[in-house]
Amino acid sequence: MTSEPAALQALAPDSVWIVIPAYNEERTIRDVAEAALALCLRVLVVDDGSSDSTAERLDGLPLTLLRHPSNQGKAASLRTGFRHALALGASCAVTLDGDGQHDPRDVARLLAVWRRQPSRLVIGARLHDRAQFPPLRYFGNRFACFWISWAAGHPIADSQSGFRVYSRALMEIAVGNRARSARFAFESEIIIAAARRGHPTLAVAIAGRYPADARPSHYRSVLDTMAIVAMVASRLLARGLYPQGLWRSLQRAPEMAPAAESALDAQR
């Protein structure tokens, strides 16, 4: 077995997994997986019933590939990845998208922050830089942030980012019955479920990439946004509209980890 790449060994001597959900990502998945493998020995791709050559594109790479026989959505894929990582004793899982919108080199920055505050759900946040977003996605994300922050009871910098660090406790919440949403609503629901159990979010500023030739998003603007709104509404109703949550979420700006928290920043 090769030794842990030096960069992560310093930051993460124990069992970190990188989990990449992928649905029809034949154009990008190999580059993303190779970049992840350069950082971490334990890389897991969940191919969610892709109808293209996503799985074949990973041939020969020393990673774990799990496959769903049919498309089950991002939520199911994350749960599959977490179950596997938990069973193998993972201390945490870093999730990142398979379409190349997240830069795997930022993994070390997120982990450095998480190591200092391991009870937090660390999120790579992109909303600080409005220019990098297509306008509709930016306002949709801000809209979602307002409601999810209310239900979570603290302000959230980027509720829709899939670039996150999940501790074991958070993975257990994710695979249990505390977060039941399907598809994209799941990552919003897990923020709320985690906050209720003492794991608020902590954001790390990252660059997002929106290349002009990117494939269309799998996010269905109307249906997936409605699913998120319905999930948040049911959470708020169940808590009597949770006015303290609204108050707290409006009191301050979202908490961002200082850039200097990354031990690797100086080397990049």
Ligand X SMILES: Nc1nc2c(ncn2[C@@H]2O[C@H](COP(=O)(O)OP(=O)(O)O)[C@@H](O)[C@H]2O)c(=O)[nH]1
Contact footprint for ligand X (CB under 6 A): 21-23, 25, 46, 48, 71, 73-74, 77, 97-99, 101, 162, 217-219
Phi and psi at residue 141, to the nearest 5°: -70, -40
> Smallest distance from the beta carbon of 91 to Mg ion, in angstroms?
27
Name residues contacting Mg ion, limited to 85-114 (CB under 5 A): 99, 101
Q: How far is the CB of 210 from Mg ion (least distance, A)?
A: 8
Q: Does 159 interact with Mg ion (rule: CB under 5 A)?
A: no
Which residue lies nearer to ligand X by CB, 23 or 114?
Answer: 23
What is the rounded CA–CA span in Å between residue 162 and residue 254? Answer: 17
Which residues, including other chains, have CB under 8 Å from residue 19's CB and lie 6 or more apart?
A: 44, 46, 78, 81, 82, 85, 93, 94, 95, 96
Say if residues 94 and 165 touch (Cβ distance below 8 Å): yes
Residue number with CB closer to ligand X (47 or 232):
47
Closer to Mg ion by Cβ: residue 221 or 244: 221
Least gap, CB of 95 to Mg ion (angstroms): 13
Nearest Cα neighbor of 21 from 169, 215, 164 is 164
188 and 160 in contact (C-beta within 8 Å)? yes
Contact 110, 165 (CB under 8 A): yes
CB of 132 to Mg ion, least distance (A): 13
Cβ proximity to Mg ion: between 99 and 189 the closer is: 99
Residues that bind Mg ion (CB under 5 A): 99, 101
